[in-house]
A = this chain, B = another copy of it.
Amino acid sequence: MAEKNYSEKAQEILNAAELRMRQGGFDAVSYRDLAAAVGIKASSVHYHFPQKADLGRAVVERYTTKLLAFLGPPDDPSESAKTRIVRLCAAYQHALIHEEVPCLCCVLGAESLDLPSVVSEAVSHFFVQMIDWTEQALGDRSDAEALAKYLISTLQGTMITALTLKQPQLLQDAKPYLLRLID
């Protein structure tokens, strides 16, 4: 969870690893391919991330930090709950439509049972943080926690069907169903 200072090359490696992981999961990442992508040799990638589990955890932690930064504070009093949830939906749409790959933790979460424990713990922590953000974004209401879990779950699942069916607009279509639950 602590802030990490990655060198420029380490960041390039993380970029390549994140892309590959979002396409095909943890096993789809290989040191050799990463090395080629950033213009060094596989053994040099091991210098930056000795074990693959380290690399996986680093990718997930950086992804979590990036996404929370994109979402901004969940408790800005000048915003309505609805505005915040619209922004949450926009983040998911941006991932699939502009980056053309699903949410990292959608992919890794699905193969959770088979991941190195440090990686699956990082994925679990991602969901905890996302649900926490959403719960705060919903403001004061008795079902905030349950609704937050429901919203995050639905966005994750919609991403999978949208991806598999090649219907990115499913994320847009799900929005009214979600927003009618707010306020």
Contacts and interface: CB of A to CB of B under 8 A. Distances in A.
Interface of A: 23-25, 27-28, 101-102, 105-107, 109-114, 120, 123-124, 127-128, 131, 146-147, 149-150, 152-166, 170, 173-174, 177, 181
Contacts of A181: 177
Given A23-B113, A109-B110, A154-B158, 7 more contacts: A27-B27, A102-B110, A106-B110, A112-B164, A150-B154, A152-B157, A160-B160
A171 to B, nearest CB: 9
A28 B114 contact: yes
Nearest to A23: B113
Nearest to A103: B110
Nearest to A106: B110
What is the total number of copies of this protein in its complex?
A: 2
Contact of A152 (B111, B123, B156, B161): B161
A159 B25 CA distance: 17
Contact of A27 (B28, B110, B146): B28
